Chains A and B, each alone.
Chain A
Amino acid sequence: MNLSFFNDPGADDVSLFGGKAASLARLGAAGRIPPGFSISVESYSRWVDNGSEQMPREIAAEIGQAYEVLERTCAVIDVPVAVRSSAVDEDGIGESFAGLHDTFLNVIGADPVIEAVIKCWRSLGNQHAIDYRVANGLEVEKARMGVVVQQLVFADVSAVAFSANPINGNRDEVVINANFGLGEAVVGGLTTPDSIVIKRSDFSQQSLTIGAKEVMTVRTENGTGEKPVPRIMRDMPVLSEDQATEIAELVVKLEDHSGWPVDVELAIHDSQLFLLQCRPITTLRQ
């Protein structure tokens, strides 16, 4: 099998599609994620067998068709996508491969997607990825890779939510940090976002602290960049009360699903809430 959509049966199999693809498929079962498909490890092997040059014709045709299906699913012609590496040995919890393999954002059109997929595969050979595997006792020769192709949602509002309070360890508090724009500014801690604390037992809002929100991440010609949040918007709450409640309910569900407190990245686009990533909170005090 060369590729599979996130919601197809078996898309959550790490051995077939890699760690990133499998965790996205699992996430998609718990809430709405931006739609997309995964290119299998088997495709990678065929490409390697063919000399690691051109994309084998049959796989290229399938990726082209899948991209067209994605356009229809998203109802967007030339839908922009993110193309991300999904190595088999980078399975969710445990070793973090963040940044070791390549990711391409805002890729548009079937041919550029195919090119990006090949670049992801090639990034298995990145020197720091090799060093990392050696340092962690992973077998470099056996490393194989799937690739994820997912609609890039241009967030109007981005949020990081915790199903338990990561500051004081309180398991009865959901904490949401939110800012206008794409996720980088809030995930990367570039500015002070709004912070909302919600009581888990009845979803009542305990506190809303309006953050300084000096900057937001926006799309630019060459990707993304930080722009100042207009002054008149800095004291406005980013999330409505309903949106905050919706997020809190979702992260509680995700915690119940996974069995441990979670740290979730979310985006709101066109009034729809999307799940981008879900990880266990590893630093929680008991």
Chain B
Amino acid sequence: MAEHHPEPKPIPTPDNFPITWDDPADAHLPLNQDRQHAPSPLTPLSGWLAVEHWGPGSSAGLAAIGQPLKLQIRRINTYYYLSVTPAFPPEQMEEAGHKAEEALKALMPVYGERWRDEWLPEVQSHHNKWNAFDLADASDFELIDHLDWTLETFRRFWNIHFQLMVPALVGPSMLLDLYNDLIEDAGPMDAYKLTQGFDNTSLRAGEDLWKLSQVATASEEVRNILENTGTDQVMAALEGSEEGRHFVAEIDKYAQMWGLRSDTVIEIADPSWVEDPTIVINYLKAYLAGDAADPRERWNEIVAERERLVAEAQSRISTYPEPVKQQFNGMLHAGQDGHRLQEDHNWWIDQQGNHQVRQVYLEFGNRLASTGAIPTRDDVFMLTGDEIMETAKSGFRGDFQAVIAERTAEMEKWEKIPAAPRIGTDYGPPPDNPVTRALGRFFGWGPVAARDDSSDMLQGTPGSTGKVTGTARVIIKLSDAGRLKNGDILVTATTSPPWTPLFATAAGIVTDTGGALSHCAIVAREYAIPAAVGTMRATQLIKDGDQIEVDGDAGTVRIL
């Protein structure tokens, strides 16, 4: 493959998005706003964590599996930017590329087993240590020590994350290429159906939520409270009766099991469900309003469809040479593992990992607030990790009132200004290889049709098959999801696994970000609802309440 080195070009930014580089060298990075993982302005602490620990941990994970890529995060004008660059100078990249392909080939058949036998047990042992640590009772010294270990473990989590997720993304992506080469008349979404319907934590969390809604339905009193009380009054109302208290215990049980998560995977300032049951209550309200069907029924259908397509493909290639059949069966295995682990890794690493880090910093928030260094506990997220550590080491004393006010104002200011999608330096499109192809399908890179602001048509990427017309609900934060009524179409910047239960009541999904292998597209297929992903500007152009038509096969949205 010929390497190309186009002339690097500085990327101009809009007038309302001027950039002052903290480090002038950063202007040479190819920085893309990663709205899929952090659509809104990031708190300083979440930004610091991503820059100082997420990036180095992730890059170390890539290096551990021989992938010569460096991931770096920058928080620019409070927004979250990701840079993916070669890890070595250009003259070494060709050899590194060959080695990377070999390493990936070796990892592909075994990464599912490595996750199960090696990485997941390690991740679980770290969770056990976090859960066993009594934050409130720890001395200042113990707490500081615990934070050091927490940050080191956070880096290790992202190291494991990328060792796992490179093959887990490349597997389904290569299966897609292979299937479409072998089955010449395949429909555009058929290959994705080969991997659907495997048990995973997102689906189990969704199923348990449905069961919880069935418990609520069984009690007239509980059902009445959920249907007729405002979300923030529901818990108080439930506490007022025997049946209600019984149901509160059920909610607690659910939150203890599945509540160690919040909106996104980068922002740690959002409360976990176990801290604030608002999101669970909203989900229950939606499930009751929609009389949501047993997810197992839909589940059985997509499993049957998967098995039918697999058998059909295997029969179509039954007379092909054995190496081709072996390749197909190997890729099927790798693709199915990847698909399943797309959800599971997120639960164990991204969500619970963030939850743990958040809990540790909340205790620092408590102590900083008790000395008056910060006004309230949650203001801890407005400091950087270095500031927190330094202050903790001097007895949690300091005065951050002014700094916090300034930074809060800064976030509020930028929230109103859309971030420039790309900043820094443009090095042209990445070289074509299995890894960049898979990343493209995850992030939704690639050629996008010309956009016309005046048009009533938005072009994205096909995410999940089918066509549907309905009322658009533009929802950016999960805490706002209570507005989504049964049969509405969810329009959002991005979804992550905690959003999964919404797919049970939504009639269709439209996102700004992501490709056919993104979380949203995968889950939409599992829930068999149409989805158009990566439309870039759906949340800007579609107004809440608009009637829209989503064509999941074409990846288009029409505003009616």
Which residues on A are within 8 Å of B, measured CB to CB? 154-157, 180-182, 216, 218-220, 227-233, 238, 269-270
CA gap between A227 and B325 in the complex, in Å: 14
- One of B182, B324, B331 near A180 (C-beta < 8 A): B324
CA gap between A112 and B416 in the complex, in Å: 80
CA gap between A230 and B182 in the complex, in Å: 7
- Whether B320 lies near A181 (C-beta < 8 A) is yes
CA gap between A218 and B324 in the complex, in Å: 11
Contacts of B331 in A (CB 8 A): 232
Binary per-residue interface labels of chain B (202-239) against chain A in the complex, 1 for a CB within 8 Å, 0 otherwise: 00000000000000000000000000000000000000
Binary per-residue interface labels of chain B (164-182) against chain A in the complex, 1 for a CB within 8 Å, 0 otherwise: 0000000000100110011
- Whether B321 lies near A230 (C-beta < 8 A) is no
Q: Which B residues between 308 and 340 are near A, CB-CB below 8 angstroms?
A: 319-324, 327, 331
Between A and B, 9 residue pairs with Cβ closer than 8 Å are A156-B322, A157-B323, A181-B321, A181-B324, A231-B181, A233-B323, A233-B324, A233-B327, A269-B322
Contacts of B322 in A (CB 8 A): 156, 269-270
- Whether A216 lies near B327 (C-beta < 8 A) is no
Binary per-residue interface labels of chain B (140-180) against chain A in the complex, 1 for a CB within 8 Å, 0 otherwise: 00000000000000000000000000000000001001100
- Whether B177 lies near A231 (C-beta < 8 A) is yes
Contacts of A219 in B (CB 8 A): 319-320
- Whether A228 lies near B321 (C-beta < 8 A) is no
In the A-B complex, the 3 residue pairs with the closest CB atoms: A219-B319, A156-B322, A230-B181
Q: Which B residues between 424 and 455 are near A, CB-CB below 8 angstroms?
A: 434
- One of B174, B178, B321 near A218 (C-beta < 8 A): B321
Give the residue name and chain of the B residue nearest to A181 (CB): B321
Contacts of A156 in B (CB 8 A): 321-323
Given contacts A228-B181, A230-B181, A232-B327, contact A155 B174 (CB under 8 A): no
Contacts of B181 in A (CB 8 A): 228, 230-232
CA gap between A132 and B320 in the complex, in Å: 37
- Whether B324 lies near A232 (C-beta < 8 A) is no
A26 to chain B minimum Cβ distance, whole angstroms, is 29
- Whether A232 lies near B178 (C-beta < 8 A) is yes
CA gap between A181 and B317 in the complex, in Å: 12
Contacts of A228 in B (CB 8 A): 181
- One of B177, B319, B434 near A230 (C-beta < 8 A): B177
- Whether B321 lies near A157 (C-beta < 8 A) is yes
Contacts of A270 in B (CB 8 A): 322
Given contacts A230-B178, A230-B182, A232-B177, contact A218 B319 (CB under 8 A): yes
- Whether B177 lies near A227 (C-beta < 8 A) is no
From B177, B182, B322, name the one whose CB has the most chain A CB atoms within 10 angstroms. B322
- Whether A155 lies near B177 (C-beta < 8 A) is no
Further contacts, 11 of them, CB under 8 A, given A180-B321, A233-B323 = A154-B319, A157-B323, A181-B320, A182-B321, A218-B319, A227-B320, A230-B324, A230-B327, A232-B327, A232-B331, A238-B323
Contacts of B319 in A (CB 8 A): 154, 218-220
- Whether A180 lies near B174 (C-beta < 8 A) is no
CA gap between A224 and B177 in the complex, in Å: 24
Contacts of B321 in A (CB 8 A): 154-157, 180-182, 216, 218
A119 to chain B minimum Cβ distance, whole angstroms, is 24
B179 to chain A minimum Cβ distance, whole angstroms, is 9
Give the residue name and chain of the A residue nearest to B331 (CB): A232
- Whether B174 lies near A232 (C-beta < 8 A) is yes
Contacts of B434 in A (CB 8 A): 232
CA gap between A156 and B174 in the complex, in Å: 22
CA gap between A169 and B431 in the complex, in Å: 40
Give the residue name and chain of the A residue nearest to B326 (CB): A156
Contacts of A220 in B (CB 8 A): 319
A76 to chain B minimum Cβ distance, whole angstroms, is 15
CA gap between A115 and B327 in the complex, in Å: 39
Give the residue name and chain of the B residue nearest to A238 (CB): B323
Q: Which B residues between 174 and 201 are near A, CB-CB below 8 angstroms?
A: 174, 177-178, 181-182
A238 to chain B minimum Cβ distance, whole angstroms, is 8
CA gap between A12 and B324 in the complex, in Å: 37
Binary per-residue interface labels of chain B (394-422) against chain A in the complex, 1 for a CB within 8 Å, 0 otherwise: 00000000000000000000000000000
Give the residue name and chain of the A residue nearest to B434 (CB): A232
CA gap between A155 and B178 in the complex, in Å: 21
Contacts of B324 in A (CB 8 A): 180-181, 216, 229-230, 233
Contacts of A231 in B (CB 8 A): 177, 181
CA gap between A181 and B321 in the complex, in Å: 5
Give the residue name and chain of the B residue nearest to A216 (CB): B321
Contacts of A233 in B (CB 8 A): 323-324, 327
A196 to chain B minimum Cβ distance, whole angstroms, is 16
CA gap between A181 and B181 in the complex, in Å: 16
CA gap between A182 and B174 in the complex, in Å: 25
CA gap between A157 and B322 in the complex, in Å: 8
B403 to chain A minimum Cβ distance, whole angstroms, is 53
A270 to chain B minimum Cβ distance, whole angstroms, is 7
Contacts of A155 in B (CB 8 A): 321
CA gap between A43 and B324 in the complex, in Å: 43
CA gap between A196 and B327 in the complex, in Å: 23
CA gap between A230 and B177 in the complex, in Å: 8
CA gap between A32 and B327 in the complex, in Å: 27
B105 to chain A minimum Cβ distance, whole angstroms, is 9
B108 to chain A minimum Cβ distance, whole angstroms, is 11
CA gap between A219 and B182 in the complex, in Å: 14
Contacts of A218 in B (CB 8 A): 319-321
Contacts of B182 in A (CB 8 A): 230
B449 to chain A minimum Cβ distance, whole angstroms, is 25
CA gap between A241 and B320 in the complex, in Å: 23
Contacts of B327 in A (CB 8 A): 230, 232-233
Contacts of A238 in B (CB 8 A): 323
CA gap between A182 and B320 in the complex, in Å: 9
CA gap between A85 and B324 in the complex, in Å: 33
Binary per-residue interface labels of chain B (231-269) against chain A in the complex, 1 for a CB within 8 Å, 0 otherwise: 000000000000000000000000000000000000000
CA gap between A233 and B330 in the complex, in Å: 12
B185 to chain A minimum Cβ distance, whole angstroms, is 13
B426 to chain A minimum Cβ distance, whole angstroms, is 28
Give the residue name and chain of the B residue nearest to A154 (CB): B319
A59 to chain B minimum Cβ distance, whole angstroms, is 33
Contacts of A269 in B (CB 8 A): 322
Binary per-residue interface labels of chain B (95-135) against chain A in the complex, 1 for a CB within 8 Å, 0 otherwise: 00000000000000000000000000000000000000000
Give the residue name and chain of the B residue nearest to A182 (CB): B321
A272 to chain B minimum Cβ distance, whole angstroms, is 11
Give the residue name and chain of the A residue nearest to B105 (CB): A236
B97 to chain A minimum Cβ distance, whole angstroms, is 12
CA gap between A229 and B177 in the complex, in Å: 12
B172 to chain A minimum Cβ distance, whole angstroms, is 13
CA gap between A270 and B181 in the complex, in Å: 24
From B319, B321, B331, B434, name the one whose CB has the most chain A CB atoms within 10 angstroms. B321
CA gap between A231 and B180 in the complex, in Å: 10
Give the residue name and chain of the B residue nearest to A158 (CB): B321
Give the residue name and chain of the B residue nearest to A217 (CB): B321
B178 to chain A minimum Cβ distance, whole angstroms, is 5
Contacts of B323 in A (CB 8 A): 156-157, 180, 233, 238
